[in-house]
Amino acid sequence: MFNEAAYLEEVEALLSAHVPQKEALQARLFEAERYSLLAGGKRVRPLLCGAFCALCGDEAGHALWFAAAVEMIHTYSLIHDDLPCMDDDDLRRGRPSNHKVYGEALALLAGDGLLTKAFETIACPQARETCGNEAVARAVSCLAELAGDHGMVGGQVIDLSTENNEAAGLDVLQAMDEGKTAALIEAACVLGCLAAHAGEEQIHAARVYAHGVGLAFQIRDDILDVIGDQAALGKKTGVDAHNGRRTYVSLLGVEKAQQLVEEYTEQAVRALAVFPGDSSYLADFARRLAQRMH
């Protein structure tokens, strides 16, 4: 069975080790990176990565570098997303956002640094030793594809173009959520399988699970922006309505949107059937996310 607490400790230690605190001309950069990377997020993506590695029969710890890489990508995207030229958010995870503390230039560079460090981490000597060069090369390819133009970055661009666009329908929202949120969750799940040298059938099932969890996660996020508590969430609420952004909630209402969250979650859970091992952790995890209040 996947030991969440022990694994999370290892994730935090690895993230910290890869962004050193030290005296250097760039010390302020490291500080800015640590500020956002070690701010105690939910670590959804590293947990999924480790849990899939364990489910495919390997130790969760073998996926640590891949898990850390996905979290670095997630963190950089939050820093850039909060910048004035993007969402212009002052608050993130209950604290001032990165550029409010370090200034825009350093926040931009901290984001670039973390994005680059993700690939340094995924292909670091220990990862190559533990997972093998083939798994590392495939993981780089998969993560870059899902974090880039056809994945997360692409989703942000669709998001930009739908703000104040009253013509955006559910199909556009789904394309946006698949890019912005589901893609990186898919990377986390697939990379966990790759670390464990899983077969194609298992990788495919991980993709289906991730697609359901990813869409459910984003729709739940939109719901929390309406019904959530700013203190518990650690970020401003009501932002979507304020920005005139169309979401599942603005199109369907809270109740129907939550029905959709639960449908996507059950789709995800059903995909776990192909794994011979005990997949109850991942089933519970998906259902917890569907009900989360922060």
Per-residue binder mask for a copy of itself (CB under 8 A), 66-85, x = binder: ----------x---x--x-x
Q: Give the torsion through C-alpha atoms of 181, 187, 193, 199, to 10 deg.
A: 110
Choices 141-149, 201-209, 245-253, 269-277; region in contact with a copy of itself by CB under 8 A? 141-149
Q: For a copy of itself, which residue of 2, 7, 15, 33 counts as binding (CB under 8 A)? A: 33
How far is Cα 1 from Cα 3, in angstroms, rounded to an integer?
Answer: 6
Q: Smallest gap, in angstroms, from Cβ of residue 228 to a copy of itself?
A: 26
Q: For a copy of itself, which residue of 15, 49, 108, 198 counts as binding (CB under 8 A)? A: 108
**CB-nearer residue toward a copy of itself: 23 or 255:** 23
Q: Of all residues in the chain, what percent are helix, strand and coil, respectively (each to 5)?
A: 75, 0, 25
Choices 20-28, 200-208, 254-262, 272-280; region in contact with a copy of itself by CB under 8 A? 20-28
Q: For a copy of itself, which residue of 10, 59, 112, 240 counts as binding (CB under 8 A)? A: 112
Show the tokens assigned to 193: 């399988």
Q: For a copy of itself, which residue of 5, 23, 125, 255 counts as binding (CB under 8 A)? A: 125
100 binds a copy of itself (CB under 8 A): no
**CB-nearer residue toward a copy of itself: 125 or 255:** 125
H/E stretch holding 95: strand 95-96
120 binds a copy of itself (CB under 8 A): yes
From the number of C-beta atoms within 10 Å of its C-beta (0-12, 13-18, 19+), residue 111 rates as: buried
165 binds a copy of itself (CB under 8 A): no
Q: For a copy of itself, which residue of 141, 164, 165, 243 counts as binding (CB under 8 A)? A: 141
What size, in residues, is the chain?
A: 294
- End-to-end CA, the chain: 26
123 binds a copy of itself (CB under 8 A): yes
Show the tokens assigned to 171: 């199909």
How far is Cα 181 from Cα 219, in angstroms, rounded to an integer?
Answer: 10
How far is Cα 75 from Cα 71, in angstroms, rounded to an integer?
Answer: 6
Show the tokens assigned to 256: 């129907």
**CB-nearer residue toward a copy of itself: 19 or 56:** 19
**CB-nearer residue toward a copy of itself: 240 or 262:** 240
CB 251 within 8 A of CB 170: yes
Q: How far is CA 197 from the centre of its chain?
A: 22
Q: Where does residue 140 fall: left (phi above 0), alpha (psi -120 to 50 degrees), or beta otherwise?
A: alpha
31 binds a copy of itself (CB under 8 A): no
Q: For a copy of itself, which residue of 8, 59, 119, 236 counts as binding (CB under 8 A)? A: 119
Q: Coil, strand or helix: which one is 91?
A: strand
Give the CA radius of gyration of the chain.
18
Choices 46-54, 118-126, 242-250, 252-260; region in contact with a copy of itself by CB under 8 A? 118-126
Residues in touch with a copy of itself (CB under 8 A): 19, 24-26, 28-30, 33, 76, 80, 83, 85-86, 103-106, 108-109, 111-113, 115-120, 122-125, 128, 133-134, 136-138, 140-141, 143-145, 147-150, 153-154, 156-158, 160-161, 172, 175-176
